[in-house]
Amino acid sequence: MDFITENNALVFKRQGETVRIESWGKDSLRFRATMLKDFTGRCNALTEKVEACKANISVFDVEYTNGDGTKEKRTHAKIVSGRISAEVNFAGVISIYRDDSLILREYFRSYDGTISRESRCLKIVGREWKGVQGSDNFKFKLRFDPNPGESIFGMGQYQQQDMNLKGCTLELAQRNSQISVPFAVSSLGYGMLWNNPGVGQVTFGNNMTIWDMFSIKEMDYWVTVADTPKEILANYTNATGHAGAFPEDLMGLWQCKLRYRTQDEVLSIARKYKELGIHIDQIVIDFFHWTYQGDWKFDTKYWPDPKAMVDELHEMGIKVIVSVWPSVDRKSENFYPMYEKGLLIRTDRGSIETYDYQGDCVEIDTFNPETRQYLWDVCKKNYYDYGIDGFWLDNSEPDYAVYDFDNYRYCDGSALEISNLYPQYYSRAFYDNMVKQGVESPVNLLRCAWAGSQKYGNVVWSGDVPSTFEAFEDQLQCGINMGLAGIPWWTTDIGGFMTDDVSDPDFKQLLVRWYQFAVYTAVFRLHGDRGPYNIPPLDTRDWGGGYLHTGQDNEMWSYGEDVFAIMKKYYDIRMELKPYIKSLYDEASKNGSPLLRVMFYEFPDDKECYELKDQYMFGDRYLVAPILHLNEFEREVYLPKGSWKLTSTGETFEGGKRVKVKAPIEYMPVFEKQ
């Protein structure tokens, strides 16, 4: 096997495979491999111009002892870029080091310096390629040896209780409430980006780690090392992009429900908030304000003068955001023009339908730049030109009727190969064009994202989650791991999305606890589908803005005086925090730090903090301990070393231990670092 040096890259070829390892930013290496003649040249998430770092590359011989006791020399190679290095042995097996300590090694059974007989018998290799019949793509597995005691975080959003992902299998695919952002942060001081948007799965097993892809042309991953998670995130966002400046006038309350059905209803809600002296920063107009899916326009029967509505809201200092779905009903005026132009997703077999909620729909192909421009042109005419400030890009996974990824195809390739990038391209249909319109910091709301989405003005929310304490507990680790995956603008539906009975006292308790938590997150947004569904439709038509159901009221005053009093109290807290929140947004733009931070992010030397999943830091100052269980009115909190003030009473505690504090319904425990 021959090793080749190309600028800052180490290249070798073996058994038809070409592998390239190169310096890619501070203390970082990029690893690529292919069985084809050339690499694709795709950057995927690694879009930024990174700091040029000189790599030192050496080729040398290592003496091995054969099974019969004889010795022979085998050629190895090593590439060093700052604090990270990778060594390749005679069999093409890669080992990765941080300051000369092993952090990742491809699965290989030769620990004692001998040429392993075990690996010959098992016939399991670190990089496994199997051709996909009839194409130039491959099924691919990358295996790493395990690291005992390692903890792994990040990777996006998965609806589960496990914050530490060691021992978990994660699907690398986008679904409603599941967001694959494949950047992992290790307790061993490294971060790894799986720079491939294909569908697959990863298992962080105790016996090995396996990245298992169903259809790819090349392996592509990136590893960075640093002393702290904060420095790891800084290296990562330098390579994939930084979040923009978040507008100060969106740091307060966003008002939303399923669904405001008329122009008058939106204005009546805004006017009442104004009468109560409560300023809302933004009001959200949800789905089926339109005629058909894919028309992307107001139903004029219920929205007769959108510009006048927007003008009045703007006079009150309220911005307006409207829901846009990527689904196009066959009855839509845009269906056949888009279908004929090839702007919709294609199916490899069966019906062309990809989505079936309230219509026979095909979703748009966001990989196609013509699609993105067509969508923007329609939405500019029907929304933006009326003064609409932003777009709620719902169903942005996209939300397929059936998640048969092997059946869907985009202009750039099959869904199996690239589908996880879909939400990012969807957001760019609006972000890129709003920038062209002169918007300094576009902010749009999405239900999905991928690595690098942070730089396209994406506020990402956690999807249509149930209104239960169990789901609430899931959201805490979802937000923490999204932040560690580089997505700082993350939020939830306060109270969860799916509620059966708004009058249920247990739900009201959940709503209050969720609302208290939301004050200490990036975006403070009141939303949900509130049952029961006993409100009659406005219209007998089976289409348009009047026919679909709506949920119960979901404003601050909708749940009784006691709930309103608590909400108002916490609304005031949010307003008082705005200068501090602005500083956190500024930090996110600068170095990638999330607003909602896992405990070890601020206390990386405290081993206890790596085990905590029911409390977090809001920035570097506030330790937040949400109430995650029904009828829980006190809880235990771990305080790292230092002095901490309980904000409810002013009582001071010395850290380095656990304390138990009261948590009446009126208060969620929050400690301020002194």
- Positions annotated as catalytic residues are 394, 397, 464
| Alpha carbons 335 and 501: distance in angstroms, whole number | 38
For residue 581, report the phi and psi dihedrals to the nearest 5 degrees. Answer: -60, -40
| Alpha carbons 87 and 236: distance in angstroms, whole number | 22
Sheet containing strand 319-324, strands side by side: 490-491, 458-461, 444-446, 390-393, 319-324, 282-285, 253-255, 524-526
Pairing of strands 56-65, 71-81: antiparallel
> In sequence order, what E strands does 66-168 have?
71-81, 84-88, 94-98, 101-105, 127-131, 138-144, 152-157
Q: Residue 636 is inside which H or E element, if any?
A: strand 634-639
DSSP for 516-528? Answer: HHHHTSS-EEE--
Question: In which residue are the tokens 């990136």 written?
Answer: 222
Question: Which two tokens mark 200?
Answer: 């697959």
Rounded to 10°, the helix 369-382/422-436 angle is 50
> In sequence order, what E strands does 394-449 have?
408-410, 413-414, 444-446
Q: In angstroms, what is the C-alpha Rg of the chain?
A: 26
Q: What angle do CA 466, 170, 471 make, to 5 degrees?
A: 15
- Kindly list the distances between the CA atom of residue 589 and the CA atoms of 45, 454, 489, 617, in Å, as whole numbers in the listed order: 17, 9, 10, 18
